[in-house]
Structure 1
């Protein structure tokens, strides 16, 4: 019971962070939504079904769940928007060590995204 409650709370928080990531440049959306789907699958069948059928997330979640891949266009968009967001942050941050940390995080994220299997975009 406690484990299920913790998974449900973690899923809800992850979903909120994922939705916020749609609007906030440095907050990623996809990892939080994937974590929410994982948590909901183990804690709430109703929320898991809702998330899998949600118009914003259904396609990406289905592709990830079934094929462990994302659409080529989504991958490019994620890489471009992440790069722009990180570069803006690097330009605005005054501390050198934070700039270096952000650059390392950006390169790590881009490498991760680059290595993800991709699906052809549907017409």
Structure 2
């Protein structure tokens, strides 16, 4: 019973991540590949058939495989992500949000950008 529940939860997480990835295909602001990486990870724990289909996908399979093998991120994706995070961090200063948030968000984005740029290129 517990194993079946865990399998269903992994499958549900995989489906939610795939749906979020599909939203990313339609909306350029939402990333696609990170959600598909998470979906493949979850599918690998509860839905091996779906994981195999994702890895075999002609467009999205290779980035998942490269990430799993080397933690590689394409240079173009790094640039887009860093520019997007820089714009978001700058735009937050134009909003009426509290000062702590105006400092915290760009700080987190900077840390993510540094980590992302430290990943190997494809």
Moved more, 35-44 or 15-24: 15-24
- Structure 2 unmatched runs, 5+: none
Tell me the CA shift for residue 8 of structure 1: 0.3
How many residues in Structure 1 have an aligned counterpart in Structure 2? 114
On the 8 A contact 2:14/2:38 being kept in 1, the answer is yes
Tell me the CA shift for residue 91 of structure 1: 4.1
- 1:5 is matched with 8
Aligned-residue CA RMSD in angstroms? 2.1
Alignment of 1:6-21 (within 5 A): 6-21=9-24
- TM-score, scaled relative to structure 1: 0.76
Larger Rg computed on CA atoms: 2
- Structure 1 unmatched runs, 5+: none
- TM-score, scaled relative to structure 2: 0.76
- 2:40 is matched with 37
Taking the aligned partners of 2:42 and 2:60, their CA distance within structure 1 comes to 15
Distance 1:106 1:116, change over 3 A: same
- 1:89 is matched with 88
Moved more, 88-97 or 104-113: 88-97
Query: Aligned with 2:31: secondary structure?
Result: coil
Tell me the CA shift for residue 107 of structure 1: 1.0
Taking the aligned partners of 2:6 and 2:76, their CA distance within structure 1 comes to 36
